[in-house]
Structure 1
Amino acid sequence: MTDFKVPVSEGTRVFLNFSVSLEDGSEVDSNFGGDPVEFSVGDGSLLPGFERRMFGMGAGDRKVFQVPPEDAFGQPNENNVQRLPRDQFDDDVELEIGLVFSFADAAGGELPGMVIAFDDEEVTVDFNHPLAGRTILFDVQVHRVEPAELH
């Protein structure tokens, strides 16, 4: 019996550790030092731009990828910056730049928005992803790859 290494591809389940950092080296998220996480390619757990870079990797492989904004969290969109009337916020809320609120979206889900400016009349809220426009360093260590239909 040969020990065939299944590569990451469509239809596989992947067990991995990862870290996400900005170009300046500041870490945004990491699970190194903890148990591996698992996902099935295409299940929406990872952005497609991250998944595609892992294709061909197998158990034991570790790589660091530079992921441009177009393949990560996109470019900031000025249409995602909204000015809202100040009276939509409770009077007892102490507004400050960088404060994140959760707003209801059209589909009934929740959408985070960060206060980027405010005065007595309006509050300017940025609904862009906080990492929009940023190049991401994706460090990934693959522990196991198996056909997804085993689960």
Structure 2
Amino acid sequence: MTELVVGPGAQVFMHFNVELPDGSVADSTRAHGKPARLTLGDGSLSAGMEKELLGLAKGDKKRFSLPPEQAFGQSNPDNIQYLDRTQFAADADLSNGTIMAFTAPDGNQYPGVIRAVEGDSVTVDFNHPLAGQTVVFDVEILDIIAKEAQ
């Protein structure tokens, strides 16, 4: 039997750290003690990330850097909204950098980052918090389930 490797449609169980070039950790499944379960080709991963994972086997570790275009994209000015202060609870923390959940008209919730409060206008950034940044991934493949076995 040949060793199973990461390929299209495979479910991958892995630990990862997402780091900024300065070494600070932006996210970590290791810190939470809960590995991620991802499926290649379902659109949840960028093409750049999937390309780096292809061919890895259970137990493999890999560290790689992705530019913004291959990671979380560039910051899109259309994703910055200006909301009226009255749309927030009176006790809401509107400090710069605060991340809040916002409910869209379709009922889905999206995270937004408070960027500024000027008078009655609150600037909310709905871009991914790592948009526009080069990121470093440090991954460890824990298990792979082939597409046929699902």
**Within-5 A mapping of 1:68-87:** 68-87=67-86
Correspondent of 2:12 among 11, 14, 18? 14
Distance in 2 (CA, whole Å) between partners of 1:38 and 1:100 is: 24
Structure 2's unaligned 5+ residue stretches are none
Corresponding residue number in structure 2 for 1:140: 139
Q: Is 1:31 the equivalent of 2:25?
A: no
| Contact map agreement 2:9 2:42 (CA 8 A) in 1 | no
Distance in 1 (CA, whole Å) between partners of 2:93 and 2:34 is: 39
- Give the TM-score, by structure 2 length: 0.84
Aligned length: 149
Moved more, 64-73 or 6-15: 6-15
* Residues 1:145 and 1:94: Cα distance change in structure 2 (over 3 Å): closer
Distance in 2 (CA, whole Å) between partners of 1:120 and 1:41 is: 46
| Contact map agreement 1:100 1:112 (CA 8 A) in 2 | yes
Q: Secondary structure at the match of 1:111?
A: strand
Structure 1's unaligned 5+ residue stretches are none
Distance in 2 (CA, whole Å) between partners of 1:112 and 1:37 is: 20
Amino acid at match of 1:30: S
Corresponding residue number in structure 2 for 1:150: 149
- Which structure has the larger Rg over C-alpha atoms? 1
Amino acid at match of 1:142: I
**Within-5 A mapping of 1:94-109:** 94-109=93-108
Q: Which deviations, in whole Å up to 9, do the C-alpha atoms of 1:71-100 show, x marking residues without a partner? A: 111111111111122222233435322222
**Within-5 A mapping of 1:109-128:** 109-128=108-127
Correspondent of 1:5 among 3, 6, 9? 3
Q: Percent identity?
A: 43
Q: Which deviations, in whole Å up to 9, do the C-alpha atoms of 1:35-86 show, x marking residues without a partner? A: 6443332234534331221111122321111011111111111111111222
Q: Is 1:66 the equivalent of 2:54?
A: no
* Residues 1:92 and 1:36: Cα distance change in structure 2 (over 3 Å): closer
